[in-house]
Amino acid sequence: MARITGSYPDDLDLLIEGAVEAGVFGGKSDALREFVREYFEDHENERIAAAVALYERERITLGDAARLAAVDRWSMRDILREHGVELRLGLIDEDDAAYEVETASELEFDEEVSDDEESRAK
């Protein structure tokens, strides 16, 4: 888990303290985590922009970008292309490989072959 240090207006600090004292949040950290989580849930474009920027700067993999943007890898590839970002091909690390294996195992294939297709194959 990452730590963030920052400053914000005194009135906002008082509201957060009041919410903690009222039992709305377990602590200031909980309140700030909730605010940020809700912001990115409500602002899809900003979430996608953040994922694109991180991928473009080679800070994250395609799988990470897709997860952060809350889209699948294929959609993320399209999004990156739309933003003019060059795709990095290949697996970056073991986590990236594990994600690829998991995604591939979730694919469904139609294994039923019709009688017509079987007779044509013979």
Q: Could you write out the DSSP letters of every residue in 50-97?
A: HHHHHHHTTSS-HHHHHHHHTS-HHHHHHHHHHTTPPPPPS--SHHHH
Contact 75, 66 (CB under 8 A): yes
Same domain, 55 and 88: yes
Residues 21 and 69 in one domain: no
- The answer to whether 28 and 4 are in contact (CB under 8 A) is no
Which has the closest alpha carbon to 72: 84, 61, 63? 63
Give this prediction's pTM. Answer: 0.65
Q: In whole angstroms, give the CA distance from residue 69 to residue 52.
A: 8
Give a yes or no: residue 36 inside a domain.
yes
pLDDT value, residue 116: 55
Q: Total structural domains in the chain?
A: 2
Q: Is residue 112 part of a domain?
A: no
Shared domain for 92 and 58, answered yes or no, is yes
Q: What is the largest CA-CA distance in the chain?
A: 79
Instruction: Tell me the two tokens of residue 25.
Output: 């949040």
2-47 pLDDT per residue, tens: 888 888 899 999 999 999 999 999 999 999 999 999 999 999 999 9
* pLDDT tens digits, one per residue of 84-102: 999 987 655 677 677 777 8
Containing domain of residue 77, as a range? 45-105
Please state, in angstroms and rounded to a whole number, the distance separating the CA atoms of residues 33 and 82: 30
Q: Can you tell me the distance from the alpha carbon of 122 to that of 119, in angstroms, rounded to the nearest whole number?
A: 5
Write down the pLDDT at residue 54. 96
